[in-house]
A = this chain, B = another copy of it.
Amino acid sequence: ALAEALANCFQTGVLDGLRVTITAGPTREAIDPVRYISNHSSGKMGYALAEACAEAGARVTLISGPTQLPTPAHVTRIDINSAQDLLAAALEQPGDIFIGAAAVADYRPQSIAQQKLKKQGDATDEMTLQLVRNPDIIATMASLSNAPFCVGFAAETENLLAYARSKLTRKKLKLVIANDVSRTDIGFNSDENAVTLVTASGEETLNTRSKRQLARDLVARIADAYQQDRAK
């Protein structure tokens, strides 16, 4: 508790007066009233970042897909289900810094059935689900005329760093947090994580630590990168 209080004191201020918007958790894309497509995401990393940003003095808006997590203290939470709803909420509250930690579904069903789809007779052993591309949340935010400082996540099972760097430039992000989701010891539902930060100037690896500590370490680096960017 003392260490925590000290940590709180240490971080207070680095985001003072800034508005930070964070997306977290999975999205759910409805197939019909009972079925949906989703992604594995506990929301823990995004919630930990929201908590750490609030501790650092920011006014935090947390746009959250369905999770089982309590809202961190001093954080305004907006609940959404679909990627489209997430984007609408983000456009209303872009913040000075925008951190896209949600596991957004890339595709959604082309149409949502109004009634539960029935099995199509005993002869029908197959079904085709037509999907359409969802809006790219972080790329949309980063392309706004008055774009916030955008921090993205890259969650991959292979070619992680190459993809993270490509995402940084392709989507005009300031920082990408690269997350190897093929590892079962960290990430997803775990309370620990390890990541590599990718910026235009280089890479930094933060080895395995609690998501709470990792969030604080990330917030310190995000605040630093934000100030450097504003000073340009």
Count of A interface residues, CB-CB < 8 Å: 35
Q: Which residues of B contact A38 (CB under 8 A)?
A: 35-38
Q: Which residue of B lies closest to A113 (CB)?
A: B157
Q: Confirm or deny: A201 has a beta carbon within 8 angstroms of a beta carbon on chain B.
A: no
Could you tell me if B36 and A39 are in contact, using CB atoms closer than 8 angstroms?
yes
Q: Confirm or deny: A7 has a beta carbon within 8 angstroms of a beta carbon on chain B.
A: no
Q: Which residue of B lies closest to A158 (CB)?
A: B115
Q: Which residues of B contact A35 (CB under 8 A)?
A: 37-40, 105
Q: Confirm or deny: A92 has a beta carbon within 8 angstroms of a beta carbon on chain B.
A: no
Q: Which residues of B contact A157 (CB under 8 A)?
A: 33-34, 115-116
14 example contacts (A-B, Cβ-Cβ < 8 A) are as follows: A33-B182, A34-B39, A35-B38, A37-B37, A68-B68, A106-B119, A110-B126, A115-B157, A116-B157, A125-B133, A126-B133, A127-B132, A128-B129, A129-B131
* 20 further contact pairs, Cβ within 8 A, besides A33-B181, A37-B38: A33-B157, A33-B182, A34-B103, A34-B157, A34-B181, A35-B37, A35-B105, A37-B37, A38-B38, A106-B117, A107-B127, A110-B126, A115-B157, A116-B155, A116-B158, A125-B132, A125-B133, A126-B132, A127-B132, A127-B133
